[in-house]
Amino acid sequence: MPVGPGGRVRPLGGEGVGSHQGVYVPEQREPERYAYEEQQPEQRLNQLPDDVPREEVYYATFRQFLADHSKYPSAYQFGQRLRETYGVNDLSNSELAGYVEDFKERVRLEREAIP
């Protein structure tokens, strides 16, 4: 098939391309990363302390969310914070919701106790 003036021709279907006979396969490259996709060093999760009851660690996490956002977390947000901070992922949504309701009541009682 002619490709331009001068009678140059190229084979159809990738035949005879380079030293390989058959279909042309472009060089495979690693996809480029965008700035927001830069890999971060792997964050090490904190371990739940052995000397503090698990529920107290959960309550401290709940209070930290409240301090950070000035509102109570949903069960999902509370679970997400526990996963991100301590790697806790063995609580169901209903268990998380129970903790959130209990901790809301605990905060309310603490605030009432302050003169």
Cα 54 to Cα 29, 35, 61, 79, 87, distances in angstroms: 48, 39, 11, 14, 13
The arithmetic mean of pLDDT across residues 53-71, rounded, is 95
pLDDT (0 to 100) of residue 14: 54
Cα 27 to Cα 24, 30, 31, 110, distances in angstroms: 10, 10, 12, 65
Q: Which of 14-18, 52-56, 82-86 has the lowest mean pLDDT?
A: 14-18
Q: Higher model confidence: residue 21 or residue 81?
A: 81
Find out whether 97 and 75 touch, Cβ atoms under 8 Å: yes
Token digits for 69? 């956002």
Tell me how far apart the alpha carbons of residues 68 and 49 are, in angstroms, rounded to a whole number. 22
pLDDT tens-place string over residues 94-103: 999 999 999 9
pLDDT (0 to 100) of residue 71: 96
pLDDT tens-place string over residues 6-16: 666 666 665 55
pLDDT tens-place string over residues 39-48: 444 445 677 8
Ordered by start, the domain boundaries in the chain are 54-113
Q: Bridge-partner residues for 2, per DSSP?
A: 9
